[in-house]
């Protein structure tokens, strides 16, 4: 069949593949729990955080992608080659992002297992340790099978299905539960609640959307697809679609929590609360759709989260991604083992929801380095030539840097307050 007669859905996926992959990565249970935690505590008052995060994410995807389209290099490779102390900076970014992402696997998998178990109990009345073990083992085996030999094209198609399922679920639920539009509009005015953990949750909301991992993945995926400057327009369009979808889905989750849990003053502390508390408020249909969305979000996010280690190593070493290499498979096994053991961590160690907020806040701390690095790279005349940053693009870079520094400040304050509350004897 000729290229011009391909199925429209196939052609759409061919254009939007990189964006769909990043949506699946970005809108995981980290986003869901962080947005739900914010919506359940403060309604729609933190909408501004999502708006600014998505705008910065769009420009970040555009700029990280443009560098790779022009030079053919991924970002960590470019940092090593073209910046002072490049090896040290690239290694810091590699280790910081990988450690933070692998830490988030614990929260991601624990939340998925808890929600699946709660839904089985809710639907059938059965709940025991065997069910929990079966869900955990089943999830781990699925992840291992998907990534052991899976090519990028296979993973992209799998994530496209999960993203579509997740997106429909969240949007339908939000329509059923939408609060007043006035409350949504008021949330566009930047304010930070003067309450415990507010700074941590705000930075977590930014970290789960405007994340260094997303930006490096953007560069890696474009190179993996073989895109060059000839695909400049599709790449720009894809970035717009991805950023808009991230905004819509994030706001949809906040709406679900603000339209129900916030009204009854029930902040999200545990993932299963979203099922237990929402059921009498929203009805069985809305809860069923919402749980399907969360599970789709969790699985679509777990796959790229586990793959981030091998992909960043390929970026750092300037080698092709090889899912069958020993190092790649070793890291996949490590990620799957974390997913297998996470649901059995003692509750007093850390709650899965708060693990996700903490790791998202840690990711926010890394972003300023990433935004400064890409700004410097895009202004190197000998490399970028006529494609180096214009004044308008440099202004956008400055906005990204300032926003990332502000969010990092909130993250540090929030992490400090959390550690002080958890371990008061430290100071």
CA angle 355, 358, 360 (to 5 degrees): 105
Exposed e or buried b per residue across 125-139, where buried means at least 16 C-beta atoms within 10 angstroms of its C-beta: eeeeeebbeebbeeb
Please state, in angstroms and rounded to a whole number, the distance separating the CA atoms of residues 152 and 154: 5
The CA distances from residue 176 to 7, 119, 147, 185, in Å, are: 33, 20, 36, 19
Exposed e or buried b per residue across 281-308, where buried means at least 16 C-beta atoms within 10 angstroms of its C-beta: ebeeebbbbbbbbbbbbbbbbbbbbbbb
Please state, in angstroms and rounded to a whole number, the distance separating the CA atoms of residues 390 and 93: 26
- Is 400 within 8 Å of 57 (Cβ atoms)? no
- Is 363 within 8 Å of 207 (Cβ atoms)? yes
Please state, in angstroms and rounded to a whole number, the distance separating the CA atoms of residues 109 and 338: 8
Each of the 427 residues of the chain gets a pLDDT tens digit; together they read: 344 445 544 454 444 545 555 555 555 556 677 787 788 888 888 889 989 999 999 999 999 999 999 999 999 999 999 999 999 999 999 998 888 888 888 877 888 888 888 778 877 777 888 999 999 999 899 888 888 765 656 666 666 666 666 667 667 767 766 666 677 777 888 888 888 778 888 888 888 788 888 889 889 888 888 888 888 888 888 888 888 888 887 888 787 777 666 666 667 666 566 665 555 555 566 667 667 777 777 777 788 788 888 889 989 988 888 878 888 889 889 999 988 888 887 765 556 666 666 676 777 778 999 999 999 999 999 999 999 999 999 999 999 999 999 988 888 888 787 777 766 655 5
Please state, in angstroms and rounded to a whole number, the distance separating the CA atoms of residues 374 and 2: 39
- State in words which class domain 17-426 has: mainly alpha
Q: Which residues fall within 8 angstroms of residue 112, CB to CB, at 6 or more apart?
A: 29, 139, 294, 295, 298, 299, 302
Specify the 3-state DSSP secondary structure of 276: helix
The CA distances from residue 44 to 50, 90, 184, 246, 313, in Å, are: 10, 38, 5, 16, 39
**Extents of the domains making up the chain:** 17-426
Specify the 3-state DSSP secondary structure of 272: coil
Question: C-alpha 208: how far from its chain's center?
Answer: 5
Please state, in angstroms and rounded to a whole number, the distance separating the CA atoms of residues 361 and 46: 16
Q: Half-sphere exposure (CA, 13 Å, Cβ side) for 80? A: 18
Reported as a single tens digit per residue, the pLDDT across 167-187 is: 676 677 677 666 666 777 778
State the Rg of the chain over Cα.
Answer: 21
Q: What is the largest CA-CA distance in the chain?
A: 70
């Amino acid at each position: 069949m000729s290229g011009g007669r391909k199925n429209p859905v196939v052609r759409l996926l061919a254009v939007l593949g990189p964006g769909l992959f990043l949506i699946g990565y970005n809108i995981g249970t980290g986003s869901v729990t962080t947005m739900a935690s914010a919506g359940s505590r403060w309604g729609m008052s933190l909408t501004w955080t999502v708006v600014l995060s998505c705008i910065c994410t769009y420009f970040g995807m555009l700029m990280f992608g443009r560098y790779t389209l022009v030079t053919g290099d991924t970002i960590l490779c470019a940092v090593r080659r073209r910046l002072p102390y490049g090896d040290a900076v690239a290694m810091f970014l590699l280790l910081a992002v990988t450690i933070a992402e692998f830490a988030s696997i614990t929260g991601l998998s624990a939340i998925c297992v808890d929600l699946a178990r709660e839904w089985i109990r809710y639907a059938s009345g059965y709940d025991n340790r065997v069910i929990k073990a079966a869900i955990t083992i089943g999830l781990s085996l699925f992840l291992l099978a998907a990534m052991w030999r899976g090519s990028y094209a296979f993973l992209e198609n799998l994530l496209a299905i999960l993203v579509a399922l997740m997106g429909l679920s969240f949007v339908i639920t939000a329509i059923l539960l939408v609060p007043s539009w006035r409350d949504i509009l008021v949330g566009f005015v930047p304010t930070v609640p003067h309450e415990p953990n507010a700074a941590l949750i705000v930075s977590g909301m930014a970290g789960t959307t405007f994340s260094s991992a997303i930006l490096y993945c953007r560069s890696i995926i474009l190179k993996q697809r073989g895109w060059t400057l000839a695909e400049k327009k599709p790449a720009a369009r894809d970035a717009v679609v991805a950023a808009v979808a991230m905004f819509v889905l994030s706001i949809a989750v906040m709406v679900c929590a603000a339209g129900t849990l916030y009204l009854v003053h029930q902040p999200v502390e545990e993932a299963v609360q979203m099922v237990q508390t929402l059921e009498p408020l929203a009805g069985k249909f809305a809860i069923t759709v919402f749980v399907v969305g969360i599970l789709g979000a969790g699985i679509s996010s777990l796959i790229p989260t586990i793959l981030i280690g091998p992909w960043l190593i390929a970026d750092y070493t300037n080698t092709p991604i090889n899912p069958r290499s020993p190092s790649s498979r070793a890291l996949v096994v490590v990620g799957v083992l974390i997913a297998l053991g996470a649901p059995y961590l003692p509750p007093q160690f850390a709650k899965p929801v708060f693990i996700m907020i903490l790791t998202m806040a840690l990711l926010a701390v890394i972003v300023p380095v990433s935004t400064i690095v890409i700004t410097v790279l895009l202004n190197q005349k000998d490399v970028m030539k006529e494609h180096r940053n214009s004044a308008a693009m440099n202004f956008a870079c400055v906005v990204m840097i300032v926003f990332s520094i502000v969010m990092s400040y909130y993250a540090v304050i929030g992490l400090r307050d959390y550690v002080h509350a958890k371990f008061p004897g430290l100071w």
